[in-house]
Amino acid sequence: MMIDAIEKLKGKTAIVTGGAQGMGFAVADMLADNGIKVVVCDIKGEDAHAAAEKIKAKGNIAHGVKVNVTVEEAVDGMVKETVDRFGSVDILVNNAGILKPTRIDDISKKEWDQVLDVNLNGVFLCSKAVLALMKKNNFGRIVNMSSSAGRSVSTLGGAHYTASKAGVLGLTRAMAKEVSQYGITVNAVCPGLIDTEMVRRDCTPEKIKYYESVFPIPRLGTPQEVAQLVMFLCIDSYITGASIDINGGDLML
């Protein structure tokens, strides 16, 4: 039954923001492996195009786009370029995000705004930009990348990161309630510590070993495991407005 559900997604088009590396690339790569046309979007245009080329080298369909998800005109341009090339937008994975470890006493207004702008406002702008198309087609899948931080508190990030990811969960529920009647599902994925470039950059090897030792599943998660969950949320289902944890048991609610 799962195979049949995935077969229905073949030929559809997905936008993945922050898709040049880490979880975003794993998601884009897995969607493409399952016959979905993928637009890899990233603030670093060269990286977006390079990621798309990796996907195309496997015989799959992909296109790279440079986008700043905090700029409405840029987001609208990303959607237009996707429609011009592939004809529609059926799936949106809001993965673009930044993490700052700054403690609350040291967070400037500028840094607070930057984290909220990318992690929360970017999800809003990208989702708003595709909703009219999805409503017209009476089909859509929006998957928002939140975090265990949104469910509790961040292991590595500061208060602004936690606040932004909690905001994504509220936005997910509100959108799901408004648009589900149009055949659109909206869900959030809440990863714990995943073995990505960002985590390796912001966490020492010693800290990683410590966290691994205290997790019920004693290791970091992989980007591919997150991608599998995103893939599941893109098939036909009765799930919407949900926040789904993937954290090795680090947080159990």
Q: What's the pLDDT tens digit per position in 16-42?
A: 999 999 999 999 999 999 999 999 999
pLDDT digits (tens, 9 = 90+) for 65-124: 999 999 999 999 999 999 999 999 999 999 999 999 999 999 999 999 999 999 999 999
Does 234 score more than 60 pLDDT? yes
What CATH number labels 2-239? 3.40.50.720
Give the helix/strand (H/E) hosting 118.
Answer: none
Q: What average pLDDT score do residues 137-163 get?
A: 96
User: Please, which contacts does 73-80 make with residues 24 or more away whose CB atoms are closer than 8 Å?
Assistant: 75/122, 75/125, 75/126, 75/129, 76/129, 78/15, 78/39, 78/41, 78/126, 78/129, 79/15, 79/129, 79/130, 79/133
Domain ranges, ordered by start, for the chain: 2-239
Task: Give the pLDDT of residue 153.
Answer: 92
Is this structure's pTM higher than 0.75?
Answer: yes
pLDDT band for 188, please (50, 70, 90 cuts): very high
Task: Give the pLDDT of residue 201.
Answer: 83
Does 1 score more than 80 pLDDT? no
Contact 162, 150 (CB under 8 A): yes
CA angle, residues 46, 189, 30, in degrees to nearest 5:
50
Arithmetic mean of pLDDT over the chain: 96
Contacts of 66 (CB under 8 A, 6+ apart): 41, 42, 43, 44, 45, 48
Tell me which residues are annotated as active site: 161
Task: Give the pLDDT of residue 203.
Answer: 82
